[in-house]
Structure formats: C-alpha cells, structure tokens
Amino acid sequence: MASAIENAVNAATNPASAVKTVDASKAGLNGLTSQTFLKLLITQLQNQDPTNPTDSNELLQQVSSMQSLQANIELQSTLKTVSLNQQLSSAASFLGKTIAATQNEDFVSGVVDSVRVADGKALLTVDGKEVDLTNVLWMTET
C-alpha cells in the first residue's frame, strides 16, 4: 500500500513521471505515418495464422487505402495553407486603410494598424481591437 502512495506522490512532484498528453493533431488517423503503417503491416504479417495466411489482394488493398489516406491528409494540409495565405494576402491589403466592422456585437471603425493570424483566421487590428477579416463591412482609402 505504501508503494501506491509513494507512486502517487512521485507522480505529483516529479514532472518527468507525470501523465503525458497527446497533441490533438497527432491523434487518431492524423497520427498515422507511412512508417507507422509499415510497422503495423509487418506486425500483422508476423502474427498471422500460418494455416490461414492473409490474402495478398487484401494486403495490396490495405496498402492502397493507406496511400489514399496519406494523400488526402497531405491535400487537406495544403488546402489549409493555401486558404490561410489567401486570407493573409487579403488582410494585408487593408493595412493603412479605414474600415468599419463588427466584432462580438460591437461596431469598430478606424485605420488598420496591423494584421496577424490566429487559429487559422486573419485578424486586423484597429485602434487596439482585433477584428476578424470576415466581419469587415466596408473599407475606404485613407
């Protein structure tokens, strides 16, 4: 019983023994890599029933599915990057211009001082307030 208490105390006082967290972007299918798939495939082959081996067509189908999944993940990542770059480019065109926008039910107007990206969205800074690019109502040259 004392060892369970000691383990609990050690876990609470020693960060190295603390519970590890997993980044959400690496969880589930997002955490799969080609190398991980190959390890799984080799483990499956090593542990298969020798009297009833896996069909080679089934293995090819699994490899094909993994390649398709990997291609979809890469395409999704590329599309997110392209979309973010377009947002940033659009937001940069607002620098130094006067805008009017709504943000959290507030009306904000003034000259755009800076642009930044947060949580996959382009944000404009107007008089110290951040405004989502999609909330801009109008813009004029200053």
pLDDT at 105: 87
Please state the pTM of the whole predicted model. 0.54
The answer, yes or no, to whether residue 137 has pLDDT greater than 60, is yes
Residue 66 in this model has a pLDDT that exceeds 90: no
Confidence of residue 115 (pLDDT cuts 50, 70, 90): very high
Give the pLDDT mean for 133-142. 89
Helix (H, G, I), strand (E, B) or coil at 35: helix
Sheet with 136-140: strands ordered across: 129-132, 121-126, 106-118, 98-103, 136-140
* Lowest mean pLDDT segment, chosen from 31-35, 48-52, 93-97, 111-115: 31-35
pLDDT at 68 exceeding the cut of 80:
yes
- Is residue 126 packed enough to be buried (19+ CB in 10 Å), middle (13-18) or exposed (0-12)? buried
Tell me the DSSP string of 120-132: TEEEEEETTEEEE
What are the backbone dihedrals phi and psi of residue 53, each rounded to the nearest 5 degrees, phi first? -70, 160
Predicted pLDDT at 125 = 95
Please state, rounded to an integer, the average pLDDT across all residues of the chain.
Answer: 81
